[in-house]
């Protein structure tokens, strides 16, 4: 870790204070969530079925602030936008208070990643608050995703509510004699009337249809008609904005993300502060005075509870582990990402609480020092 990042003011600033100054609405919300839950834990839910994913999210939800998913690992992912896996996961996230992070690691030309983000079967942008990008193809990928997020947000700002009623008007409301006539509907209020008029005979009314439309903010209570009203007490629903994390460093041994690559990631993040929340990295990358980026760090492992002085080994597949104390307390990172250490434990709920507690203690000691 470079001295400039180690001594950066952000590493000594409380999450509550950073919530007040964060430029990204979702970053501000996440910092507030962290303070409310005393948690800076992200669970990497690398499981293979929908039932496993939803059950794990529901069980561990009270301890985490972010749930990291790989939707393409789920063998029976339901793509229905209203009732499918993403929608059900969003419901659990509201109930327990955490954000969903689809670890997609987009890494292609700008047009392709934009389509992968917004279209296709998964429509990731619809249900995932956060995603990430591998910047090997260059800055164009971040530019394209930022543009897609802006346009998606504009489309989602309002939704159309349509009410249709069919009935028969009073006879006195129809007083003209005419040939067959149709009144074309208009958006605000419309009548569709068919009349058969013959000389010397009253008009016969076939039907009348009233169509009324109005626009309503998508974050109004009516937008959640298909969900229960249960949500985490003490904080509102997450903002509609979407956020991006740039994969700037990795925890795997022998990876090719050198300093030149990492510096390019930081440069791109500074160009898109309204969309880029921060980085997946091994160290804080805040170096300029006005940098406020969040850092989420994978490769976190605790030794057994009955032997906390034990050395934490890698997984034999290139993954290198560090403890929450080192990741948060010494390296200045904000959120630890834990997967197998929790999922494969005897009791994931208890183990998630142990990770949450250790990471939060490391944060408190960091800002107090």
CA nearest 65: which of 366, 355, 282? 355
Instruction: Name 145's Cβ contacts closer than 8 Å, sequence gap at least 6.
Output: 106, 110, 113, 114, 117, 131, 133, 244, 275
From the candidates 12, 78, 108, 274, give the one annotated as an active-site residue: 108
From the candidates 12, 37, 78, 103, give the one annotated as an active-site residue: 103
Nearest-angstrom CA–CA distance, 7 and 21: 19
161 φ, ψ (degrees, to nearest 5): -105, 130
Nearest-angstrom CA–CA distance, 184 and 180: 13
CA nearest 39: which of 367, 363, 369, 365? 363
Residue with the two structure tokens 């896996």? 85
Q: Is 108 one of the catalytic residues?
A: yes
318 φ, ψ (degrees, to nearest 5): 100, -15
Q: In the numeric block, which tokens belong to residue 206? A: 């076939």
The number of residues making up the chain comes to 369
Q: Where are the beta strands (DSSP E) in 122-268?
A: 130-134, 158-167, 195-196, 204-205, 208-217, 243-247
Annotated binding site for substrate: 46, 68, 251, 319, 339-340
Annotated binding site: 46, 68, 251, 319, 339-340
- Decide: 353 and 341 in contact? Cβ < 8 Å: no
Question: Three-state DSSP class for 178?
Answer: coil
From the candidates 105, 123, 273, 326, give the one annotated as an active-site residue: 105
105 φ, ψ (degrees, to nearest 5): 50, 55
- Decide: 240 and 218 in contact? Cβ < 8 Å: yes
Helix boundaries (H) for 162-316: 259-271
Q: Is 103 one of the catalytic residues?
A: yes
Q: Where are the beta strands (DSSP E) in the chain?
A: 41-44, 66-69, 99-106, 130-134, 158-167, 195-196, 204-205, 208-217, 243-247, 276-280, 294-297, 335-338
Residue numbers annotated as active site = 103, 105, 108
């Amino acid at each position: 870790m470079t001295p400039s990042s180690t001594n950066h003011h952000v590493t000594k600033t409380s999450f509550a204070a950073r919530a007040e100054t964060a430029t990204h609405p979702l970053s501000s919300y996440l910092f507030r969530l962290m303070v409310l839950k005393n948690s800076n834990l992200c669970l990497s839910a690398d499981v293979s079925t929908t039932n496993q994913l939803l059950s794990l999210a529901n069980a561990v939800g009270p301890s985490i602030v972010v749930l990291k998913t790989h939707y393409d690992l789920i063998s029976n992912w339901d793509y229905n936008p209203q009732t499918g896996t993403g929608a059900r996961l969003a419901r659990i996230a509201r109930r327990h208070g955490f954000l969903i992070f689809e670890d997609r690691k987009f890494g292609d030309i700008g047009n392709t990643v934009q389509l992968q983000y917004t279209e296709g079967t998964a429509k990731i942008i619809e249900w995932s608050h956060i995603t990430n990008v591998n910047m090997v193809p260059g800055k164009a990928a971040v530019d394209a995703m930022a543009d897609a997020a802006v346009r998606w947000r504009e489309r989602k700002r309002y939704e159309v509510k349509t009410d249709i009623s069919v009935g028969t008007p009073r006879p006195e409301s129809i007083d003209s004699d005419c040939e067959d006539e149709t009144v074309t509907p208009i958006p605000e209020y419309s009548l569709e009337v068919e009349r058969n008029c013959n000389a010397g005979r009253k008009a016969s009314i076939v039907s009348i249809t009233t169509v009324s439309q109005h626009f309503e903010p998508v974050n109004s209570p009516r937008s959640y008609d298909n969900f229960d009203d249960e949500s985490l007490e003490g904080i509102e629903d997450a903002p509609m904005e979407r956020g991006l994390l740039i994969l700037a460093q990795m925890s795997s041994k022998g990876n090719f993300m050198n300093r030149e690559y990492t510096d390019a990631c930081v440069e791109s993040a500074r160009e898109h502060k309204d969309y880029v929340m921060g980085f997946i990295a091994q160290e804080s990358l805040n170096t300029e005075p006005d940098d406020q980026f969040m850092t989420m760090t994978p490769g976190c492992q605790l030794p057994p509870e009955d032997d906390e002085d034990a050395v934490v080994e890698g997984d034999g597949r290139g993954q290198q582990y560090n403890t929450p104390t080192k990741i948060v307390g010494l390296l200045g990172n904000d959120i630890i990402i834990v997967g197998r250490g929790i999922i494969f434990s005897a009791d994931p709920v208890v183990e998630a609480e142990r990770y949450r507690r250790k990471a939060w203690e490391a944060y408190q000691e960091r800002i107090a020092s």
